[in-house]
Amino acid sequence: MDPGAGDITVTLYGGPYDGLEVKVERDDPEPWIAIITDGAPAGRAVYAPDDDGGDGVWHYRGQVPWEWL
């Protein structure tokens, strides 16, 4: 089985990683990602698909500060 068969590529929109393309698991039960950010504010930038499941674009949903992790 191809280990990348369940992956899709999405483009991040908004936030510190606007325009970045990342691979995500198509069937992930938690359809969002949190990417470490070193700049201000430091923590993790959260991106998720729209309620319709995403169209290849995931939107910035906010920042999780380090003190919350």
Q: Give per-residue pLDDT as tens, 11-45.
A: 999 999 999 999 998 888 888 899 888 776 678 99
> How far is Cα 1 from Cα 66, in angstroms, rounded to an integer?
38
pLDDT of 44-64, one tens digit each? 999 999 876 657 899 999 998
In a 3-state reduction of DSSP, which class is residue 30?
coil
Average pLDDT over residues 8-13: 93
State residue 47's pLDDT score. 95
> How far is Cα 50 from Cα 58, in angstroms, rounded to an integer?
7
Beta carbons within 8 Å of 54's beta carbon, 6+ residues apart: 10, 31
- Whether residue 46 contacts residue 33, with contact meaning beta carbons closer than 8 Å, is answered with yes
- Whether residue 56 contacts residue 26, with contact meaning beta carbons closer than 8 Å, is answered with no
| Comparison of pLDDT for 3 and 35, the residue scoring more | 35
